[in-house]
Amino acid sequence: MASWAELDEKNIVTRVLVTNNAFTNEGYDWLIDNLGGTWIQTSYNATIRFNYAGIGFTYDSELDAFIAPQPYSSWELDEDCQWQAPIPYPEDDKKYEWDEDNLKWQLVDHV
């Protein structure tokens, strides 16, 4: 089985489909012949293109990576194409949420 992400004109993922891939390019050829559009292969275990594509992700051709939407404007993309907060998540086994207004992790009172 192979997974494929369809891209719009801005390289945003609009859908992800799984195809039979018993033969080289069989799934890709079927998508092009039957659905048209632009398709890029993605990997469920992220062995290619850093992340499994999801609807709303962007495909960056220079990085050859699927990138999730930026969760907060202060977060930056790391070398593994993951968004990182400006301050690391606390490692004390408590639950936190990011507070963008104050640029810090806020302890969650409720569980």
Reference 14, options 54, 46, 45; nearest CA is 54
What percent of the chain is modeled with pLDDT above 70?
A: 95
pLDDT given at position 63: 97
What percent of the chain is modeled with pLDDT above 90?
A: 81
Which tens digits make up the pLDDT trace of 6-49?
999 999 999 999 988 766 688 899 999 999 999 999 998 989 99
| Same domain, residue pair 2 and 53 | yes
Q: Above 70 in pLDDT, residue 87?
A: yes
Q: How far is 11 from 76, CA to CA, in rounded Å?
A: 20
The structural domain count of the chain equals: 2
Give this prediction's pTM: 0.86
| Same domain, residue pair 4 and 55 | yes
| Same domain, residue pair 49 and 75 | no
pLDDT given at position 21: 73
Average pLDDT, integer, range 61-71: 98
Find the domain containing 44 and state its range.
1-69
Q: Above 80 in pLDDT, residue 106?
A: yes
pLDDT given at position 66: 98
Q: Enter the tokens of residue 57.
A: 């992700």
Q: How far is 80 from 76, CA to CA, in rounded Å?
A: 11
| Same domain, residue pair 54 and 80 | no
Average pLDDT, integer, range 53-65: 98
Reference 90, options 73, 106, 101; nearest CA is 106
